Amino acid sequence: MSKKFFQHASLWLSLGTVLVIGLWPIVTHNALNRETAFTVLSAVALASSLNILLGYTGYVSFGHVVFFGFGGYVGFYTINVLGWNIWMAMLAGGLAAALLAYLLGVAILRLRGAYFALATIGINEAVRAFINNFAPFGGPTGMTLNFKIYKAYGGAMHALQLVFYIMVGLTIIVTILSYWVRTSKFGLGLLAIREDEDAAEVMGVITPSAKNWAFVLSAIIPGMVGAIYFFKNGTIEPGLAFPLRTSIEMIVMIMLGGQGTVLGPILGAAGYETMRDYLLVSPLFKNLQLAISGVLLLLIVLFIPRGLVGWLRQRYPKVRRWLI
Amino acid sequence: MMDALIRSLIDGLLLGFVYGIAAMGLTLIWGVMNVINLSHGSLIALGMFSVYYLFVGLGIHPYIALVLTAVLGLIFGVIIYFIAVHRVINAPELSTLLATYSVNMMILGIGTAIFTTTPRNIPLDLGSIQFGETVVTMTRLIAAVISVGVAVGLFLFLKYTRPGRYIRAVTDNRDAAEIVGVPSAQVLALTFGLGTLLAAVSGGLIATFFPFTILSGETYELKSFVIGVLGGLGNPVGSLFGGLILGLIEGLVPMAMPTTWTPVLEFVLFVLILLVAPNGLFGGEE
Amino acid sequence: MILQVQGVTKRFGGLQALTQVTFDLPEGQILGLIGPNGAGKTTLFNVIDGVYKPDEGRVIFLGEDVTGKKPYYLAKKGLARTHQIVRPLNELTVRENVMVGACFGHASANLSTAAKIADEVLDLLGLAPKANALAGSLNVAQKKRLEMARAIASQPKLLLLDEVLAGLNPSEIASMVKTVRAVRDRGITIIMIEHVMSAIMNLSDRILVLDFGKLIAEGTPEEIANNEKVIQAYLGDPKLAERLMKGE
């Protein structure tokens, strides 16, 4: 029993961290804490998803926010125009993001290294510019929810609460997904691709389909998060849905905690958001928040490129077996 | 109708030259050191502010301020290289992408704190010049001429000076260049300095006719990506042609459809070229 | 015949890397592939395992025309290879490296079976003590063994070995030669590229000689050692062949 437990230590640690963040506002009965926890959990979900592509497969997507934004728009549209409920909208957002990832993946996963990164930036900008012109989605002004829609959920207060619980649920799902991928045969193939794609192909890893599935898996949850995020937000517009900076923040969080590990992106996202909260309320750093994040990022890249968990794994080989 | 077309075309082409040297900075750095400089946009914006303050604050004529800006850009680029890039130059591309992006964050963070995000513009009116039926704004014409001059200057520098030859040697094969005694760290630093110089100069030129904020750089950085890919990443001369193509698109699209469709076309083109002809429309090595 | 190579030609730009290479390989043999540097030996491997598509000719593996098929298709069908320049998956452990071979190659094992196969193969290659080390931390000789281990763990029908002896010291060579024999005794057919003549003369059932992309000779080790063309083109010294046969 204890050996089995230890074997999956990373999963328990990861789920534990997510649960602590999720339970904190419920225990403290504090709506402000709930807002903070919502932001942290959505960051965890986005970073853990991207980690499947970036950390496990080694493909650096600089435009991953496109799935968050696209899922958000599709979800918003189904609620606002088609009158679907939040559950259906969330599914629609996730499926839309997955479909987009599948189609894009067929085309751009042939590119490697910086060319892939550039293509993802280009795609994010192309989709943003397209939606800016797309009348059914409201063009540049976007869409705003009719306040009455929250009535179906017992009013805005209850809707906010529901959205928070959904977010906790999504984060738990993404954590389990991330752990499953990391410890599965499929995941071993992805790791092989990350280390040496040509060698992996020679060893029998069906690289095109493995990469494409990794891309799809890394897109589904961001699409769902987008759908509930904008439902909660009440409005959506291209600038909010596709900010390049969010893409890069996801990468920073992954780097901070440790790319290619299950626990790393969770700790990284929580740490990054906590730090940013602190900087935002501190009168001294308020204006320099972005610059300080920049300094932090540079220090990580230059001195601890493996992130916290990666550093621990490197420093203490004994923990390598269970700390992933 | 015809007039409007010609005017729009000329405007686009003149802008294309200026965009071209911005992209040249990006693609020079990519070609020599395989680094995509994600601080490019903020460096363009710093060039804008440099010319602005030298003119509005110290009363130096914008075109002389541009020369000073170039020098400052070169120095700043070398500093950035040694602080942020040198240590990760051989690491996987994610490291250099993030290192340069961290510089971007610092510049934008500090820049927003100092300059705020209120739009500025450089009060420089040199009138306009008439070619037959079409009127061309002087500042744009001069900017295009300076851009061509800068491009020619870069070409001559790379071709005929010793540092230029070193840069080309390092581009071809860094290891081999090091073996024959090329000081590669200095060469890479110089390259990053030159790339920054080009970004700053293009920013300074744009500032003579468009309003700007510290955040304006992002738009021009994205344009530089598109141009760089059109002309072939790592092919500085191709960038000038890439700039012209982008200028043409920006000049012609508004004739056929709302201007807001321009970025859609540009980025779709960008991704398509990455997929079909990653070395650019004009081929190139590799 | 486990493998038939028919009229394979491969060009790189103006360079003719392979010209009309044809041979058959019966099951269970060790086939030596020798020739000067740049003769096209590794290119031939790359054509056989699908990394390159030949400009002309066909590759038939286990009765199926596999010309132009992807490397992973061939791997699943029963082909495995090692690389002349080792390609370990650096950030994975030695065991995980070998498990990749077992999971995705012809063995198509699930994770727990793959772990068992990996431990057994690591034992065979003397890498068991290193099983939990990162592959990047191995020395060159160990990395060569790891290449072998990954290939064997896929339980291939045909194994392509690209200079697994190069850079090893005499005692390492002796143990690697033993390993190659042990692999053959498991019923795996082998083609090996090698410059260490004594080893290849001793191991091979048959030898092919490649020079400037063309097959110039084919036969038993004795026949090759006494072949005029081979001596001229490659071995140079007529006595050399004789000495090599004795393993001096």
Closest Cβ opposite residue B274 in set A122, A291, A305 = A122
CA distance A131 to A127: 6
Residue type at A83 in one-letter notation: G
* Pick from A184, A192, A198: CB nearest C100: A192
Number of H helices, E strands in chain C: 10, 10
| Band (C234; pLDDT cuts 50, 70, 90) | low
Residue C175: exposed, middle, or buried by beta-carbon count in 10 A (0-12, 13-18, 19+)?
middle
Residues B104/B39, Cβ–Cβ less than 8 Å: yes
Which residue's entry shows tokens 């160990």?
C142
Cα separation, A171 vs A262, whole angstroms: 12
For chain B, state the CA radius of gyration.
19
- B104–A contact, CB cutoff 8 A: yes
Cβ–Cβ gap C96/A188 under 8 Å: yes
- Judge whether B204 and B97 are in contact, CB under 8 Å: no
Tokens for A184, please give them.
């599965």
Tokens found for residue B157: 């520098």
Exposed (0-12), middle (13-18) or buried (19+): which is C202, by Cβ within 10 Å?
Answer: middle
Q: What is the mean pLDDT of residues A37-53?
A: 96
pLDDT at C247 over 80: no
Helices and strands in chain B, H and E counts: 11, 2
Contact B88, B26 (CB under 8 A): no
Give the model confidence (pLDDT) of C9-24 as tens digits.
999 988 889 999 999 9
Question: A285: burial class by Cβ within 10 Å (0-12, 13-18, 19+)?
Answer: middle
Contacts of A184 in chain C (CB under 8 A): 111
Contact of B79 with chain A, judged by CB distance below 8 Å, is answered with no
Distance, in Å, from the CA atom of C166 to the CA atom of C170, rounded to the nearest integer, reads: 10
Q: Which residues does chain B have within 8 Å of residue A121's beta carbon, measured at their own beta carbons? A: 222, 225
Structural element, H or E, at residue C25: strand C15-25
Query: Where residue A290 falls among pLDDT bands split at 50, 70, 90?
Result: confident
Distance CA C159, CA C164 (A): 12
Mean pLDDT, consecutive 10-residue stretches, chain B (286 aa), reads 79 92 94 92 97 94 96 97 94 90 94 92 87 84 95 93 91 86 91 97 95 93 91 84 90 86 91 86 56
| pLDDT at res. B285 | 44
Q: How many residues does chain A have?
A: 324
Instruction: Name the minimum distance, in Å, from the CA of B79 to any CA of chain A.
Output: 14
Tell me the residues of chain B between 109 and 138 that have a Cβ less than 8 Å away from chain A: 109-110, 112-113
For chain C, give the percent of residues with pLDDT over 70: 94
Sequence spans of domains, chain B: 2-276
Q: How far is CA A263 from the centre of its chain?
A: 14
- Nearest CA among A308, A269, A275 for reference residue A292: A275
Q: What is the spatial distance between Cα C162 and Cα C178, in angstroms, rounded to a whole number?
A: 16
Q: Domain segments of chain C: what residues?
A: 3-78+157-246
Tens digit of each residue's pLDDT (9 = 90 or more) over A103-135: 999 999 999 888 899 999 999 999 999 999 999
- pLDDT at site C95: 96
**Cβ-based neighbour number of residue A313 at 10 Å:** 23
Residue A135 and residue A210: Cα distance in Å, rounded?
Answer: 36
d(CA B32, CA B234): 7
Considering only CB atoms, which chain C residues are within 8 Å of A196?
Answer: 87, 89
Map B158-198 to HEC letters. HHHCHHHHHHHHHHHCHHHHHHCCCCHHHHHHHHHHHHHHH
- For residue C190, give every residue at least 6 positions away whose Cβ sits within 8 Å of its Cβ, in sequence order, or none: C29, C30, C31, C158, C159, C160, C161, C180, C183, C184
- One-letter amino acid identity for B169? A
Distance CA B157, CA B161 (A): 5
Domains of chain A by range and CATH? 2-321 (1.10.3470)
Element (H, E) at A193: helix A185-195
Which phi-psi region, left, alpha or beta, contains residue A84 (left: φ > 0; alpha: ψ -120 to 50)? Answer: beta
| Residue-level pLDDT at B286 | 37
Q: What chains are in contact with B, requiring at least 3 Cβ pairs below 8 Å?
A: A
CATH code assigned to B2-276: 1.10.3470
* Nearest-angstrom CA–CA distance, A206 and A225: 30
As a whole number, the mean pLDDT across chain C is 90
Domain boundaries C3-78+157-246, corresponding CATH code: 3.40.50.300
Give contacts of B266 with chain A, Cβ < 8 Å. Answer: 129
pLDDT value for A1: 47
pTM, rounded to two decimals:
0.91
What tokens were used for B217?
A: 């750089």
- Tell me what pLDDT residue A3 has: 63
Among B101, B81, B73, B85, CA closest to B194:
B73
The average confidence (pLDDT) of chain A is 92
What pLDDT is stored for residue C240 in this prediction? 58
Nearest in space to A62 (alpha carbons), one of A111, A119, A104 = A119
Instruction: Output A83 or A2, whichever has higher pLDDT.
Output: A83
**Tokens at residue B155, please?**
């070409």
Is it the case that chain B and chain C have 3 or more CB pairs lying under 8 Å apart?
Answer: no
Chain A residues in contact with chain B using a Cβ-Cβ cutoff of 8 Å: 54, 60, 62, 107-108, 110-111, 113-115, 117-119, 121-123, 125-126, 129-130, 132-133, 140, 244, 248, 251-252, 255, 287-295, 297-298, 301-302, 305
Region C225-233 average pLDDT: 79
Q: What is the pLDDT of residue C97?
A: 97
Q: How far apart are CA A60 and CA A214, in angstroms?
A: 12
pLDDT digits (tens, 9 = 90+) for A60-81: 999 999 999 999 999 999 999 9
- Chain A within 8 Å of B222 (Cβ-Cβ)? yes
